[in-house]
Copies of this chain bind each other. A is one copy, B any other.
């Protein structure tokens, strides 16, 4: 098993999260480090999607991944095997990351040698949506088995992301899942949201997603 570094991050003391988030975003911009905040339910395939993303982008960008979980280091160990920088953040039971916690992670990982930093947030569709982490872009993953009604039930999350990735499209034949219904529900909340459909397992559709992400990173780091 790969040895990965595990950091315990504490609840922030800052009263004004939005201000701290803007400050962190400014710092990242100056350092030419793009930060993607990836959010989803538990088990939507965030880590597998990151493996595919790293595969496609690691020749162009120096990548660093922060895996946030309440416990365990299984995800950071999986990512570390790809050869990119990976650390595990433990949230001490916290259900989300705010800007202060994200900055602690950034400092623990170090970004001097990172063009594309990725935060895999705690698996949760509610609380992470409420806190700006200071990321350059917020992305959400929804997997086919979760159902097409999720935008109706968790509207804030679907409202605030710049891109939505629908994952596990390889199992569509076994589930009642209407992609058009999802698009319609999301675009009602968030007209500019870009929607991708992928199977992180088979690789289908992944290139469209990573092409988009690469263009975002290039724009930011210019």
Contacts and interface: CB of A to CB of B under 8 A. Distances in A.
Interface of A: 41-43, 69-72, 74, 93, 95, 122-127, 130, 143, 145-147, 149-150, 152-156, 168, 170-171, 174-175
Contact of A41 (B42, B95, B168, B170): B42
User: Which of A43, A71, A168 lies at the interface centre, i.e. has the most chain B CB atoms within 10 A of its CB?
Assistant: A43
A123 to B, nearest CB: 7
A148 to B, nearest CB: 10
A179 to B, nearest CB: 15
Contact of A153 (B42, B127, B147, B174): B42
Contacts of A42: 41, 125, 146, 150, 153-154
Nearest to A145: B145
A126 B74 contact: no
A153 B95 contact: no
A186 B169 CA distance: 29
Contacts of A171: 145, 171, 174-175
Contact of A122 (B126, B152, B170): B126
Given A123-B153, A145-B168, A145-B171, 15 more contacts: A41-B146, A42-B153, A43-B147, A69-B153, A70-B154, A70-B155, A70-B156, A71-B152, A72-B153, A95-B124, A95-B127, A123-B154, A124-B126, A124-B127, A145-B146
Given A93-B130, A171-B174, A71 B153 contact: yes
A74 B124 contact: no
